[in-house]
Structure 1
Amino acid sequence: MSGSAESDAEPESASESDLVAALLDGHHRSLARVITRIENRSAGYRDLVSDLHEHTGDAHVVGVTGSPGAGKSTLVDKLAKHYRDEGLTVGVIAVDPSSPYTGGAVLGDRIRMASNVGDMEVFFRSMSARGTLGGLSTATTDAVRALDAFGKDVVIVETVGAGQNEIDIVRTADTVAVLVQPASGDDVQMLKAGILEIGDVFVVNKADLDGASRTVTELKEMIHMRGDEPRVLDSFDAGGHHGTAGAGSDPDGHGSGGGAEQNGGGDTTDHDAGADDPETEPWTPPVVETVATSGEGIEELADTLADHLSYLERSGELEAKERTRYAEEIRALLRSDVGGLLEGEIRRQGGMASFVDAIYARETDPYTVAEELLNPVRECLEERDGE
């Protein structure tokens, strides 16, 4: 999409419908304003996101995570440049730690992302994690949706790198790349602690340093051992990650176990077609070596990411992941909205302090308070059931 000055001359007073129309027409300024409204949770932002949803579903969403110092920002910068050289448009969302004072992104300057400065077809946005576990907030998911609707071919989400809580990224990204530094024993232990489960591709960055070969070997051994271990399905595996749950899982996270590599009964829809095809065997995460500062290995990494997307499409896991993503998003929105309603009810009844005082005086207890606060909601739903 064009990013010319003329195309971005959209009036500041544009209505929500005008803003959406301008975004869909390729106005980068409108895209920036929509994402600002999303991040700030401004009035009407939900209507904007709702209007954009029908225009999404074409972008390849790539998550990049790893421990601090692994070179994520430099690698994302070079990866975006590679995509541009291939003629693809790119959106980048860098989810940074939140300032405890302003809630804004601490690393907002992103001075290491300089290769694409001035290129209107690379849209970069630094966003605050806002304290969300895994570094991803609901606003990030909505911003990805805006970039997708805008027409970006690839959307890269770089996360804080906070350890195994980074599993949240799986709910947003189609493909997850985990960066590890050479000879980083702590990083390897971190992978054993849980983040190993989320990687579709593992990247040993700074591969020109001593210890790179050893790190590659350790990663491959860990990936091999992981493939031999029994997996327990949960709502997260329901997306068919690495073929564990497969497309036979329902959006509620109750999979039949009939993924791309197996058919254990249950729902046998067209998603399972080709499950016995060798081309849809379970994806084994490869290990790619890169030197992001020089660009070495970036082309191989981009090809590997494309291979994973092709695998997801062939196996049916791409659709399964998307369905699970929507189910999780609905649950998150409900938790947030119901929580907001209850906070309002607490204020109307004198505030949290009054409940705490009563509990401290042993006049009531937390369960009873929660029950009393939830009763109006429960009664309302029961009345609807009785209609």
Structure 2
Amino acid sequence: MQDVPSLVAAAREGRPRAVARLISLVEGASPQLREVMAALAPLTGGAYVVGLTGSPGVGKSTTTSALVGAFRRQGRRVGVLAVDPSSPFSGGALLGDRVRMSDHASDPGVYIRSMATRGHLGGLARAAPQAVRVLDAAGCDVVLVETVGVGQSEVEIASQADTSVVLLAPGMGDGIQAAKAGILEIGDVYVVNKADREGADATARELNHMLGLGEARGPGDWRPPVVRTVAARGEGIDEVVEALEKHRAWMEGRGVLAARRRARAAREVETLAVMALRERIGDLGGDRRLDALADRIVSGDLDPYGAADFLVEALADG
């Protein structure tokens, strides 16, 4: 058993080993997880959470690394949560993001953690919200969450970040993909990376046009900017940071940031409650009440919705 108060205190001092142990407790769904979350709760709320998403190959890891450098030049402590897809065979992950961000490995003001999705869809790992909470409590000013390479439906990052950055690149059909449901709705800042390639101007024009065709915006509403970068050379990164700061200021001025964080907390509570209910239902696998309901459905005496109502009532009654 880990000494949770000591781990939390060490993490607050910026000791990477303590942060690593806390995130490992989160990932492993440790019996001490409730104690960890209770200890972290009063220490959270200070980090600005930025999500980066986009198709495979657009340069998410390179852009993330460049953003880390930009924020560090401002003197900010940065946490990075890089989510990699799990192997369907071994269950492990390549964790290639750690390789691409090796320039920051020796910087005590940067903490980089790779997480495997472990089969969870949506572009993030199931434990990502709690891992972000650990980095927040550990004193990170900015937490960058990099998703796996996602398609038009895997846009969970929009519900987990204060600001969502969508990366695109010329020559990858991203202009068409951006028009599909899910992509245009989640971006607060759009980045056309690899802007030194042919077609970058066209991609940026298409994206601006599609954003203009989106839902009507009032005079003070946020219009997502489109920033061009060559992340491998650090070009345009300062402009991305400027766009992020403008979006944060806009959210704080209109109460949007607080509303997003409340909604995020509500979704987290709902997810945990549903998981707890599923575990309780699983415990009823050999329960005679569940078998009796199944028999009544098969005989036509009861429909599945009515049976589900009976089951929920039984769980509520304990």
| TM-score greater than 0.5 by the shorter chain | yes
Where does residue 314 of structure 2 map in the other structure? 376
Asked if 1:306 is matched to 2:245, the reply is: yes
Asked if 1:285 is matched to 2:224, the reply is: yes
Asked if 1:153 is matched to 2:172, the reply is: no
Aligned residues of 1:104 and 1:127 also touching (Cα < 8 A): no
Q: CA deviation at 1:311?
A: 0.8
- For residues 96-139 of structure 1, give each alpha carbon's deviation from its aligned partner in whole angstroms, at most 9, with x where no partner exists: 11222444334356322222121121110111123223122441
Aligned residues of 1:90 and 1:121 also touching (Cα < 8 A): yes
Asked if 1:132 is matched to 2:120, the reply is: yes
Where does residue 191 of structure 1 map in the other structure? 178
Asked if 1:104 is matched to 2:92, the reply is: yes
Q: Which amino acid aligns with 2:178?
A: L
Q: Name the stretch that deviates more: 17-26 or 47-56.
A: 17-26
Q: CA deviation at 1:215?
A: 0.4
Q: C-alpha distance in 1, partners of 2:239/2:83? A: 25
Q: CA deviation at 1:213?
A: 0.3
Identity %: 44
Q: CA deviation at 1:143?
A: 0.7
Aligned counterpart for 1:86 among listed residues 43, 57, 74? 74
Q: Which amino acid aligns with 1:159?
A: T
What does residue range 1-387 of structure 1 map to in structure 2 within 5 Å? 14-108=2-96, 110-185=98-173, 187-193=174-180, 194-228=182-216, 261=218, 281-349=220-288, 366-367=304-305, 369-380=307-318
Q: C-alpha distance in 2, partners of 1:314/1:350? A: 54
- For residues 333-371 of structure 1, give each alpha carbon's deviation from its aligned partner in whole angstroms, at most 9, with x where no partner exists: 11111111111112445999x988996787976446534
Q: Which amino acid aligns with 1:340?
A: E
SS in 2 for 1:337: helix
- For residues 37-57 of structure 1, give each alpha carbon's deviation from its aligned partner in whole angstroms, at most 9, with x where no partner exists: 101111111220121111111
SS in 2 for 1:164: coil
TM-score (norm 2): 0.91
Aligned residues of 1:184 and 1:215 also touching (Cα < 8 A): no
Q: Which amino acid aligns with 2:16?
A: H
Question: CA 1:94–1:355 in 2, change beyond 3 Å: closer, same or farther?
Answer: farther
SS in 2 for 1:321: helix
Structure 1 stretches lacking a partner, 5+ long? 1-12, 229-242, 244-260, 262-277, 381-387
Q: Which amino acid aligns with 2:195?
A: A
Question: CA 1:295–1:226 in 2, change beyond 3 Å: closer, same or farther?
Answer: same
Q: More relative contact order in 1 or in 2 (CA 8 Å, sep 6+)?
A: 2
The size of the alignment, in residue pairs, is 317
Q: C-alpha distance in 2, partners of 1:56/1:116? A: 24
SS in 1 for 2:38: helix
- For residues 14-40 of structure 1, give each alpha carbon's deviation from its aligned partner in whole angstroms, at most 9, with x where no partner exists: 512222222223222111100011011
Q: C-alpha distance in 2, partners of 1:332/1:31? A: 24
Q: Name the stretch that deviates more: 173-182 or 111-120.
A: 111-120
Question: CA 1:117–1:25 in 2, change beyond 3 Å: closer, same or farther?
Answer: closer
Question: CA 1:305–1:27 in 2, change beyond 3 Å: closer, same or farther?
Answer: same
Structure 2 stretches lacking a partner, 5+ long? none
Q: CA deviation at 1:303?
A: 1.2
- For residues 216-260 of structure 1, give each alpha carbon's deviation from its aligned partner in whole angstroms, at most 9, with x where no partner exists: 1000001111143xxxxxxxxxxxxxx8xxxxxxxxxxxxxxxxx
